Structure 1
Amino acid sequence: MAINGDSNVINRDAFRQAVVNTLERRLFYVPSFKIYGGVAGLYDYGPPGCAVKANVLAFWRQHFVLEENMLEVDCPCVTPEVVLKASGHVDKFTDLMVKDEKTGTCYRADHLLKDFCKDKLEKKDINITAEKAAELKHVLAVLDDLSAEELGEKIREYGIVAPDTKNPLSDPYPFNLMFQTSIGPSGLSPGFMRPETAQGIFVNFKDLYYYNGNKLPFAAAQIGQAFRNEISPRQGLLRVREFTLAEIEHFVDPEDKSHPKFSEVSNLEFLMFPREKQVSGEPAKRICLGEAVSKGIVNNETLGYFIGRVYLFLTYLGIDKDRLRFRQHLANEMAHYAADCWDAEIECSYGWIECVGIADRSAYDLRAHTDKSGVPLVAHEKFAEPREVEKLVIAPVKKELGLAFKGDQRMVCEALEVMSEEEAMEMKANLESKGEVEFHVCTLAKDVTINKNMVTISKEKKKEYQRVFTPSVIEPSFGIGRIIYCLYEHSFYTRPSKTGDEQLNVFRFPPLVAPIKCTVFPLVQNQQYEEVAKHISQILTAAGISYKIDMTGTSIGKRYARTDELGVPFAITVDSTSSVTIRERDSKVQIRVNVEEVASVVKEVTEGQSTWNDMLLKYNAPTVVDDE
């Protein structure tokens, strides 16, 4: 959707409002606790919304879990503090917030700056020079890369104030987005509502690895609720406080990130937005995935494989491939431990929206939980023949350490044992030449004197029968609500009624995700036709096909229009006792089939075994019915 110029901004806003009005009126979703005024960032899914969501998740399981033979788990939403402390969420899971200095109302600092820049560019302010426009575009490109100080400086430079009151704003400061709670009645066991589902998979790695026969690579998957206490929720389903995540953790040997099935996606070509193009101000361009991996634009084959699978998943759902791109994280935007990270972004009336993150998280998470829990989360590679290797051996002399440091002996001993090879060999050289050395013990926060009687440092040759290592993880993470909202926009269109005096709303959902697969209408109120309609409904139920039956006396055109607005792909009209017509939603083309064939026709097309065109050929001479 175009976003330049005043008229296009108005058209975009009008389009969005038409979509949202239709979604709320047809109960796809509504604000939660509506009769009490609602709560920002919380929404209820109604019957068609639940069905669309269930269909999307069912296809996600088919496309990823079944296709890749993944291990699915289901972990609690309430997470002990120690787990999220180890993962870094307690200290670092923050957004930068500013406050209205008079009212105390809170806003996300980056959103205010983003809105300011986009507003100036979209409205083509005559006071903005080409140089200033280029600067604003650059700010948008590197927005996620700005520190608190840089964000505050830009807010002051541009004179950005509180949107509602025009009051001055505080300097940006971090706000932790997790909902805090306590586990048990004492309140002494702190916890949080999980901000992601991934940690449940990481802490179960040891058991999952065993379940998989102690073999790599393998993937674990989880679908579940996550919670983030957003500072200023907005944009409907795009930024909410409780949402559904579908996450995959694909564990792989860090020394071999090839993928046996990469060739299946290597020829895909789609919009990619590498970091170099973002920084230079160039647009995204179509790149062949195989080329992106071979040139090192995408870090490795396994990461590239999942990027390709995500592209196929989203386009099969009904996302417009021309409004889908994969944007690489900027260097400073990426987590320090990540080897590479790409976001699948979908363009809608709000702009480009991140809906899926595909990251190579290296071995960070497993190492963090190993260090905190003391349980080694590692994998093993057995050698065909034993290998002779030189190993560093650090042997503290506990008796000497006890005499010298008494109650501090254990901490000094532990600090010696975890020295790196470089530190240990430097200490060995100093002890041999000087007899003693100053050594910093972090847990004591001070230096101690170590003499040559207190520790033995050597290198010994040993035979190894296996390699022990911490796996790397490739993580595709899907925001299901965001994907569904973008799907709503990409599927929505209007067409004139038969009389031309009104525009009719239609959702062109692929049968795969449509909330209801077909409707059943007796052409007129007639007992025989109604009996046939009930018989068809029984056949559809037995075949596991969702349907809606409408025996009202409303005109057939109005009944078609009502179900088109729900995105129902097929309408079955009972106009005889032996055969019926099946109408396809977007073309409005009908075919005539025997009553007993109805379920098989609908099932074949909705499950992808045949196309509608296959059915047109099979049943001959379709007729276009201008029924509206």
Structure 2
Amino acid sequence: MSKEMTTKDGKPFDRTNLESLMKRRLFYTPAFDIYGGVSGLYDYGPPGCALTNAIVDIWRKHFVLKENMLEVDCTMLTPYEVLKTSGHVDKFADWMCKDPKTGEIFRADHLVEEVLEARLKGDKEARGIKVEEEKEDPKKKKKKVGKVAAVKLEDAVVQEYEEILAKIDNYNGEELGLLMKKYDIKNPATNGELEPPVAFNLMFQTTIGPSSNLPGYLRPETAQGQFLNFAKLLEFNQQSMPFASASIGKSFRNEISPRAGLLRVREFLMAEIEHFVDPEGGKKHPRFEEVKDVELELLNREIQLAGKTHVETTKIGKAVETGLVDNETLGYFLARIQLFLLRIGADPKKIRFRQHMANEMAHYAADCWDAELLTSYGWIECVGCADRSAYDLSVHMKKTGAQLVVREARKEPLKIEEWQVELDKKKFGPKFKKDGKAVEAAIEALSQDLREKLSLDLEKEGKITVEVKGVGDGQVEVPKELIAIEKRTRIENVREYIPNVIEPSFGIGRIVYSICEHNYWTRENDEARGVLSFPPTVAPTKVLIVPLSSHSDFKPFVRQVSDKLADIGVSSRVDDSGASIGKRYSRNDELGTPLGITIDFQSVKDNTFTLRDRDSTKQVRASLDEICKVISSLVDGSKQWSDVASRLPAFEGQEVD
């Protein structure tokens, strides 16, 4: 499970420098920092907010607008009964183990993963294989595993470790405990024995109201609110199927051991889609033809169970055709997810889709694929795409009696032959008295096969015997004067069904951080000059306005350019400090600002300006109207810098450190 990373220009990736940049330039910062902070909680600063908002805006356009989805915003506080019914109270858990002497808590799968990876790293060093060292951040606590001595492992042991790491997500608590025992995994800091893994529910519990008698939780996902509003959304959509709802909002998970900065936190932004589809007809999607030739890197469960991690480049059309991906709707969203990630700046070489194995599958899922992005922390799940079947709507309907179903007129009336039961209510009540409802319910619940058998008993013996729990000895005789069982034909003009759900679920914070890693690099022969090459569409600030100096002649032009950009909806900031032009551009390259407009003495003379490209540092010169046109096309993604450079005259000079 390689964690070696390079930048897009092939240099070794330096995570410490990037994270230092992101904190220094206030993309994010530890929450409650002056009080010592709380692990797993972070605040976003101005560029982090702007980057997040831009990604969410593109998400809305790419999915909600393109697919005509119905967006809702549901409450974060969720009553106990809702999450008990959905299965989260019983099953939404990770495996943790405790050091009984120190009280230290570890997440079991992460501990096994980190220890085995550290041993493999030590093995490489012992074999003389160069291993890239991570720079230590003095502000961070040491990693729990620490440095493992360079010890050569037997080839068979290396293979075992690699196979375990390939399917680490597939182990349950008992299996993780056996691995810890077999490979002598203890508290890395003290070498103390650890207790066997136990399940820890990840939800934050609370109470609702002053009397504290209504237990609840902070929601672990945005999905349940969408399911509970299904009938209202169907009505809003004029009873038309299929359709999708969408929701963006905060969710909360009480992580056992938050780590890896923004990648594993306790409060995070989610964007989730619930696509409701008719289970009949193979879950077809009307727009699947548009994406069938999109190629994805697929890591299926069979390869993982074999202890391997190689991917196969496959067109999504073929993956659905062969059954590797279960159905068209699931395949459609996998392709659309990849197109979205590429649109916001993900490196195409660092995207893969991994199929869930049986043990890691969510309790509701029939099939699930994760879109994973490669980072210096390894492959990170950023989007889950699950076929939740009809689970959620079914359990909520059973619990509440609410009709979370679709009713639609059949094209052709359906004739159904079935065994029907008819009771003589006038005689039935006096016969069974207080047990009447229980006996009637047991009769109504009889299957068609059993009804057919009992009809013969009724004709032959003049009575039937029905099992009724809690009544007498559990066996109740019903004479034929109280009941008739006959085969009849009924005509059904309306079809009723519970929709299945395909759910793409996006972890926005993870995507934000991964996009930063994918777009970080440094200038040649200048490692201190970090650059974030965000696409203009998602860059926190689109344009830097740079007057050549603080000369009073430039001020009206600064205002003119700023107002013109605001009028076309493009964000900008002014840097009129005394630093050189080069330094001013450099510190905004760190913020990912893709474009720069320089105001110089020629601007005063002829009202022309230079436009600078962040990545190439090339410049062109034109009128403000012309520059605003090309900026608008760059920001909306319809043009690239190469298009601009081929059309407008180049300008040399003026970028001096």
TM-score bin, normalised by smaller chain: over 0.9
Q: Which of these residues, 473, 480, 488, is aligned with residue 460 of structure 1?
A: 488
Provide closer, same or farther for how the CA distance between residues 525 and 79 of structure 1 changes in structure 2, counting only shifts above 3 A: same
Are the counterparts in 1 of residues 443 and 466 from structure 2 also a CA contact under 8 Å?
A: no
For 1:236, the equivalent position in structure 2 comes to 261
For 1:353, the equivalent position in structure 2 comes to 380
Bigger shift: residues 570-579 or 379-388? 379-388
Secondary structure, aligned partner of 2:51 = helix
Provide closer, same or farther for how the CA distance between residues 471 and 394 of structure 1 changes in structure 2, counting only shifts above 3 A: farther
Are the counterparts in 2 of residues 517 and 569 from structure 1 also a CA contact under 8 Å?
A: yes
For 1:599, the equivalent position in structure 2 comes to 628
CA-CA distance at 1:14 after TM superposition: 7.2
Q: Which of these residues, 361, 377, 394, is aligned with residue 367 of structure 1?
A: 394
Cα distance in 1, alignment partners of residues 177 and 457 from structure 2: 49
**1:113-262 equivalent positions in 2, closer than 5 A:** 113-124=112-123, 126-256=151-281, 257-262=283-288
Q: C-alpha root-mean-square deviation of aligned residues, in Å?
A: 2.6
For 1:308, the equivalent position in structure 2 comes to 335
Are the counterparts in 2 of residues 588 and 625 from structure 1 also a CA contact under 8 Å?
A: no
Cα distance in 2, alignment partners of residues 395 and 84 from structure 1: 39
Is the aligned partner of 1:269 residue 2:268?
no
Q: Which amino acid aligns with 1:3?
A: K
Bigger shift: residues 120-129 or 394-403? 394-403
Deviation per residue, 1:453-509 (Å, 9 max, x gap): 37655543101111101111110000001111100110111114xxx5653100000
Q: Which of these residues, 272, 276, 280, is aligned with residue 306 of structure 2?
A: 280
Cα distance in 1, alignment partners of residues 433 and 489 from structure 2: 34
For 2:369, the equivalent position in structure 1 comes to 342
For 1:91, the equivalent position in structure 2 comes to 90
For 2:360, the equivalent position in structure 1 comes to 333
Bigger shift: residues 159-168 or 256-265? 159-168
CA-CA distance at 1:307 after TM superposition: 0.3
For 1:451, the equivalent position in structure 2 comes to 477
For 1:478, the equivalent position in structure 2 comes to 506
Is the aligned partner of 1:24 residue 2:52?
no
Q: Which amino acid aligns with 2:280?
A: E
Cα distance in 2, alignment partners of residues 43 and 176 from structure 1: 22
Is the aligned partner of 1:560 residue 2:559?
no
CA-CA distance at 1:542 after TM superposition: 1.8
For 2:65, the equivalent position in structure 1 comes to 66
Secondary structure, aligned partner of 2:493 = strand
Are the counterparts in 2 of residues 438 and 447 from structure 1 also a CA contact under 8 Å?
A: no
Gap regions ≥5 residues in structure 1:
none
Bigger shift: residues 514-523 or 388-397? 388-397
Are the counterparts in 2 of residues 106 and 232 from structure 1 also a CA contact under 8 Å?
A: yes
Q: Which amino acid aligns with 1:387?
A: L
Cα distance in 1, alignment partners of residues 458 and 170 from structure 2: 46
Q: Which amino acid aligns with 1:506?
A: V
For 1:103, the equivalent position in structure 2 comes to 102
Q: Which amino acid aligns with 1:142?
A: K
CA-CA distance at 1:165 after TM superposition: 3.2
Are the counterparts in 2 of residues 289 and 308 from structure 1 also a CA contact under 8 Å?
A: yes
For 1:46, the equivalent position in structure 2 comes to 45
CA-CA distance at 1:562 after TM superposition: 0.5
Q: Which amino acid aligns with 2:52?
A: K
Cα distance in 2, alignment partners of residues 116 and 395 from structure 1: 68
Cα distance in 1, alignment partners of residues 443 and 568 from structure 2: 68
Cα distance in 2, alignment partners of residues 487 and 586 from structure 1: 16
Secondary structure, aligned partner of 1:452 = strand
Question: Could you tell me the TM-score, scaled by structure 2's length?
Answer: 0.89
For 2:147, the equivalent position in structure 1 comes to none
Are the counterparts in 2 of residues 588 and 624 from structure 1 also a CA contact under 8 Å?
A: no
Secondary structure, aligned partner of 2:534 = coil
Are the counterparts in 2 of residues 98 and 169 from structure 1 also a CA contact under 8 Å?
A: yes
Q: Which amino acid aligns with 1:272?
A: L
Question: Could you tell me the TM-score, scaled by structure 1's length?
Answer: 0.93
CA-CA distance at 1:550 after TM superposition: 0.9
Gap regions ≥5 residues in structure 2:
125-150
Deviation per residue, 1:5-59 (Å, 9 max, x gap): 9x99xx9997111111110000000010000001111100000000000000000
Secondary structure, aligned partner of 1:481 = helix
Deviation per residue, 1:367-414 (Å, 9 max, x gap): 111101101111123123322112453556667776677655444543
Are the counterparts in 2 of residues 299 and 340 from structure 1 also a CA contact under 8 Å?
A: yes
**1:317-466 equivalent positions in 2, closer than 5 A:** 317-335=344-362, 337-394=364-421, 407=434, 409-422=436-449, 424-425=451-452, 435-437=463-465, 439=467, 441=469, 448-453=474-479, 457-466=485-494
Provide closer, same or farther for how the CA distance between residues 13 and 243 of structure 1 changes in structure 2, counting only shifts above 3 A: farther
Identity %: 47
Q: Which amino acid aligns with 1:147?
A: N
Q: Which amino acid aligns with 1:388?
A: K
Provide closer, same or farther for how the CA distance between residues 572 and 100 of structure 1 changes in structure 2, counting only shifts above 3 A: same
Cα distance in 2, alignment partners of residues 112 and 431 from structure 1: 65
Is the aligned partner of 1:295 residue 2:339?
no
Are the counterparts in 2 of residues 220 and 249 from structure 1 also a CA contact under 8 Å?
A: yes
Cα distance in 2, alignment partners of residues 53 and 447 from structure 1: 65
Provide closer, same or farther for how the CA distance between residues 136 and 529 of structure 1 changes in structure 2, counting only shifts above 3 A: same
Aligned length: 620
Cα distance in 1, alignment partners of residues 117 and 443 from structure 2: 55
For 2:134, the equivalent position in structure 1 comes to none
Q: Which amino acid aligns with 1:611?
A: Q
For 1:613, the equivalent position in structure 2 comes to 642
Secondary structure, aligned partner of 1:510 = coil
Q: Which amino acid aligns with 1:266?
A: K
Secondary structure, aligned partner of 2:570 = coil
Q: Which amino acid aligns with 1:467?
A: R
Secondary structure, aligned partner of 2:474 = strand
Provide closer, same or farther for how the CA distance between residues 391 and 70 of structure 1 changes in structure 2, counting only shifts above 3 A: farther
For 2:135, the equivalent position in structure 1 comes to none
Cα distance in 2, alignment partners of residues 265 and 528 from structure 1: 54
Q: Which amino acid aligns with 1:190?
A: P
Secondary structure, aligned partner of 2:23 = helix
